[in-house]
Structure 1
Amino acid sequence: MMKIQLALDRMEINEAIELTRKVEDSIDWIEVGTSLIKEFGMTSVREMKQAFPFKTIVADIKTIDNARYEFEMCFEAGADVATVMGLSPLVTIEACMEVAKRYNKLVMIDLLNTTEQQKRDLMKYKEAVFCEHVSKDQQEELGEANYGNITDSLYSPDMKVAAAGGIKLDSLDLLRKTLNPEILIIGSAITKAENPAEAAAKFKQVEAK
């Protein structure tokens, strides 16, 4: 059964909390998006964890350097998962993994713009979550959110795989056939829906099948 991770971006903290309350029965993980962290810092992570103490909180900090400091900061603020870019130096990934292990938390490796070889080099971190990511700029500037060329061939059955970027209800069949992710990261299809609770419930229904 897939988990649904709600991606919260481009809004105030109180808006993010209010929206999440409307959909919390249909989601599993809550992502404090990069824009929230950039605008409001660790306060956004801290307040989200306080509001939803029993949900998994993902700090989408997109670390690419200064890993130990940034990951400690996220976990101290209450995050259960923090993100690092897969194109970071391996020493950075190693530092993230070490900090996460010390705090008994998870690392999500964002594979945006990584090469096939970089992905293969990262496969040794089997305890991480691997996120196949179609970028916001690719979606908005080029009008593309194509997962058709992404497959699960690199991943062993015991590895956690996530998909992010422009996911809609009508793209789930293709995702299941190609990547078959354990975690669906969904943003605007829920947050910008006319009725977010109804939209989230529809994803939950499909995810449960």
Structure 2
Amino acid sequence: MKLQLALDRMTIANAIELTKKVEDSIDWVEVGTSLIKEYGMKSVKELKQAFPNKVIVADIKTIDNARYEFEMAFKAGADVATVMGVSPIVTIEVCLEVANRYNKLVMVDLLNTSEEQVRELRKYNQAIFCAHVSKDEQEEAGAQNLGTKNGSLLTDGSLQLAAAGGITMDSLESLRKTLNPAVVIVGSAITKASNPSEAAGKFKQAIQMGE
């Protein structure tokens, strides 16, 4: 299980500074959607330059204009880019084609996808599929249903899974039992901790103990 650090709602400089504090404990670095919206591909480029040996995830949440957006992300240094699972199938296929050409990876964000859509997406098993509880659901509704929505369609072992959305140390073990993702994406439980380095270390230790 890889630990992906989600960096959102901060400056590029703060993102780099925070990542330096936790880099020994994390595997993947996510340049969050808010960073990319505020600073553009400069955020992806600077994070990759600062951490060339880390997998950099550009959370661009593409839903259209896939070729342009994915080429832009990969040229900036991203190793993984995200596309929304509710996108038209042609968009998903373009993302995969571009990623294959650049020898990069696609992460399909399953936020708000139906069972029917997930069934159709399963054939693209070269992608990583991200079970995702949105920020609005976390903040407004207190939702914590990562392991339930579409769970039976995701846990047969044939898909590469990631999980995101308000993950804490307390929820990590239940998440392992329900989805057992290959990538666990943690944001505020590390970035807003009083001691981010210590928090990241605890996540990494818990992940390693469960393997």
Pairing 1:102-181 to 2, within 5 Å after superposition: 102-150=101-149, 151=151, 153-181=153-181
Which whole-Å deviations, capped at 9, do the CAs of 1:89-137 have from their partners, x for residues lacking one?
A: 0000000000000000000000000000100100011110000000000
Q: Which runs of 4+ in 1 moved over 6 A?
A: none
Note if 1:203 corresponds to 2:206.
no
- The corresponding residue for 1:54 is 53
Question: 1:172, CA displacement in angstroms?
Answer: 1.1
State the alpha-carbon separation in 2 of the partners of residues 152 and 57 from structure 1.
Answer: 29
Verify the 8 A CA contact 1:65 1:92 in the aligned structure 2: yes
Aligned to 1:83: 82
1:172 maps to amino acid: L
Indicate how the Cα distance of structure 1 residues 157 and 39 shifts in structure 2: closer, same or farther if over 3 A, else same.
Answer: same
Does the aligned pair in 2 maintain the 1:108–1:131 contact within 8 Å?
yes
**1:9-88 → structure 2 map (5 Å cutoff):** 9-88=8-87
Q: Equivalents in 1 of 2:50, 2:189: separation in Å? A: 23
Quick check: 1:147–1:175 contact (8 Å CA) kept in 2? Answer: yes
Q: Measured at CA, do residues 8 and 107 of structure 1 come closer, stay the same or move farther in structure 2, by a change above 3 Å?
A: same
C-alpha spacing 1:147/1:155, structure 2 compared with 1 (3 Å)? closer
* Counterparts of 1:39 and 1:91, CA distance in 2: 28
TM-score between the two structures when normalised by the length of structure 2: 0.96
Q: CA deviation at 1:157?
A: 2.7
Ranges in structure 2 where 5+ consecutive residues have no aligned partner: none
CA contact (8 A) 1:112 1:132 kept: yes
How far apart, in 2, do the equivalents of 1:57 and 1:106 lie?
Answer: 10
State the alpha-carbon separation in 1 of the partners of residues 47 and 156 from structure 2: 33
TM-superposed CA distance for 1:152, in Å, is 5.3
Shift of 1:142: 1.2
Deviates more, 1:143-152 or 1:102-111: 143-152
Secondary structure at 2:205's aligned position in 1?
A: helix
Q: Where in structure 1 are there 5+ consecutive unaligned residues?
A: none
